[in-house]
Amino acid sequence: MSSKIRIAVLGATGSIGKSSLDIISRDTEKFEVVLLASRSNSDTLDELSKQYPNAVCVSAQKDGKKKLLSSIAESKPDITINGISGAAGLEPSIAAINAGSNLALANKETIVMAGKYVLQLAKEKNTNIIPVDSEHSAIFHLLKRENIVHEFSRNEHEKNKISEIILTASGGPFRNYSLEKLRNVTVQDALCHPTWNMGQKITIDSASMANKGLEIIEACLFFNMLPEKIKVAIHPQSIVHSMIRLCNGVIYAQMSKPDMRHPIHDAIYWPLTAPSSLEPVDFDNLTLEFSKPDTEKFPMLRLAREAAKNGALFPCAYNAANEIAVAAFMENKIGFLDIPRITESVLQEDFSGDCMNLETILNADAKARLIGLSLF
Ligand code: NDP
Ligand code: MG
């Protein structure tokens, strides 16, 4: 039996997947890739299967979801990196936790759809969920250094120690656009992100600021914080990944170059702080700017706060409505400003219900999609 750390990479052919394999390949003495999964049976997956002959390769489309979920258990990973995009990432996250694997979680939808459920499950299975989303990774590691973990935040003393979480946002390509100009933006315009190089869905979400909306919800659920304690600051350089303000007024920030390999590195070595050969921030010629987000121009921020306040299955509905709207926008079926319009209408429906029950969660996701589709 090898003593290497066994890693499953879900969404191996995507942006997070590729960055993960880059980090893993820098330390083959320590890590062993045991499972690679993607949606399609693409040339990229074929190529990866040659590079990692000992890893099981699964395509959800060709082999089916059931096979994907069973391979997670069968490959016995110590760490599962979930870089699947969208709601499709939820059940694989649950399968990883059920298999007793730690979860390095880039798939924010897992937390947005079912945060309370998966955090409780992880507690029962004695596994850890380590965020990879750069903002939440920053907060997670800052809180760890302050000896505050999200479980502890249920303790009143520890909870009061953090007065605010400040999520940074690049502001996306349309930061300086007028509302009028936003009306006519194209898919190509929305796909030009100024600082991060990511998959298409999250890039569109960054342009509409739905990504920050999802991240407000993710932060509330992951760190057990009220939505009003989660602030957003526009920071176009994407060097400060997030900040925490403690009760003494002092702010701690985490900085690195905008490169997802940093939070992936931190997640797979966690709880160690391991040396890395990634390029450091150069302070010799650096300007950092911060400003307030415009919620009039970017209503997805407001809608996310409302969903977070309503709780229950509203966050799940927010995600589902946005997902189908983004897919339609990418197919040129609707305009850019229809994304918040559709999401807002979906959220007017009733999404109260049990957020600790997987079936109700999946039903809410399906219901929101159906309502959303009727609004095109
Ligand atoms: P990509 O679109 O680049 O990659 C998505 C990956 O998921 C691909 O490997 C794709 O396979 C796979 N996939 C999609 N659907 C399924 C499915 N049903 N079953 C199995 N695999 C599937 O996305 P990103 O890497 O950009 O994002 C992944 C996740 O990470 C998202 O949740 C995103 O929000 C989050 N994230 C990403 C960041 C980034 O910098 N990219 C930053 C922070 C968070 P195939 O190639 O075959 O389609
Ligand atoms: Mg992020």
Instruction: Report the alpha-carbon distance of residue 67 to residue 258 in Å, rounded.
Output: 35
In the chain, what percentage of residues exceed pLDDT 70?
96
Instruction: Report the alpha-carbon distance of residue 300 to residue 169 in Å, rounded.
Output: 13
Q: Tokens for 118, please give them.
A: 């998966």
What is the pLDDT at residue 44?
96
- With tokens 């997640």, the residue in question is 267
Nearest-5° Cα angle at 64, 61 to 69? 120
Q: Where are the alpha helices (DSSP H) in the chain?
A: 15-25, 43-51, 60-63, 65-74, 90-98, 109-124, 134-145, 156-161, 179-183, 187-190, 200-208, 210-223, 261-269, 299-310, 314-330, 338-347, 358-373
- With tokens 């306040």, the residue in question is 309
Q: Tokens for 350, please give them.
A: 């009733």
How many A from CA of 300 to the centre of ligand 2? 15
Q: pLDDT tens digits for 8-21?
A: 999 999 999 999 99
In the chain, what percentage of residues exceed pLDDT 90?
92
Helix (H, G, I), strand (E, B) or coil at 58: strand
Instruction: Report the alpha-carbon distance of residue 89 to residue 291 in Å, rounded.
Output: 33
With 0-12 / 13-18 / 19 or more C-beta atoms within 10 angstroms meaning exposed / middle / buried, residue 299 is buried
Instruction: Report the alpha-carbon distance of residue 2 to residue 21 in Å, rounded.
Output: 19
Q: Which helix H or strand E contains 163, and what residues bound it? A: strand 162-169
What are the phi and psi torsion angles at 40 (to 5°)?
A: -95, 165
Q: pLDDT tens digits for 281-294?
A: 999 999 999 999 99
Strand partners, 7: 33, 79
What is the pLDDT at residue 275?
97
Helix (H, G, I), strand (E, B) or coil at 22: helix
Pocket of ligand 1 (CB under 6 A): 11-17, 37-40, 42, 60, 83-85, 88-89, 106-109, 133, 196, 198-200, 202, 260
Instruction: Report the alpha-carbon distance of residue 220 to residue 222 in Å, rounded.
Output: 6
Strand partners, 35: 8, 56
Q: pLDDT tens digits for 241-264?
A: 999 999 999 999 999 999 999 999
pTM more than 0.85? yes
198 and 134 Cβ atoms separated by less than 8 Å: no
How many A from CA of 132 to the centre of ligand 2? 8
What is the pLDDT at residue 161?
85
What is the pLDDT at residue 2?
60
Instruction: Report the alpha-carbon distance of residue 237 to residue 245 in Å, rounded.
Output: 21
Q: Tokens for 7, please give them.
A: 């890693």
Instruction: Report the alpha-carbon distance of residue 195 to residue 218 in Å, rounded.
Output: 22
Return the best residue to mutate from 202, 259, 330 for the ligand 1 pocket (most ligand atoms within 8 A of CB): 202
Q: Whose CA is nearest to atom 45 of ligand 1?
A: 39
Cis peptide, bond prior to residue 271, ω within 30 of zero: yes
Q: How many CB atoms lie within 10 A of CB 100?
A: 13
What is the pLDDT at residue 112?
99
Nearest-5° Cα angle at 100, 96 to 101? 55
What is the pLDDT at residue 234?
98
If one compares 174 and 196, the residue with the highest pLDDT of the two is 174
Q: pLDDT tens digits for 131-157?
A: 999 999 999 999 987 776 555 455 665
With 0-12 / 13-18 / 19 or more C-beta atoms within 10 angstroms meaning exposed / middle / buried, residue 117 is buried
Closest ligand 1 atom number to CA of residue 41? 47
What is the pLDDT at residue 156?
62
Closest ligand 1 atom number to CA of residue 109? 32
The chain-wide mean pLDDT, for the chain, equals: 95
Res. 106: pLDDT tops 50: yes
Torsion angle in degrees (nearest 10) through CA of 18, 50, 59, 21: -20
**What's the chain's Rg over C-alpha atoms?**
20
- With tokens 């955090």, the residue in question is 119
Q: Quick one: average pLDDT of 284-313?
A: 97
What is the pLDDT at residue 152?
46
How many A from CA of 290 to the centre of ligand 1? 29
Residue 160's pLDDT band (cuts 50, 70, 90): confident
What is the pLDDT at residue 42?
87
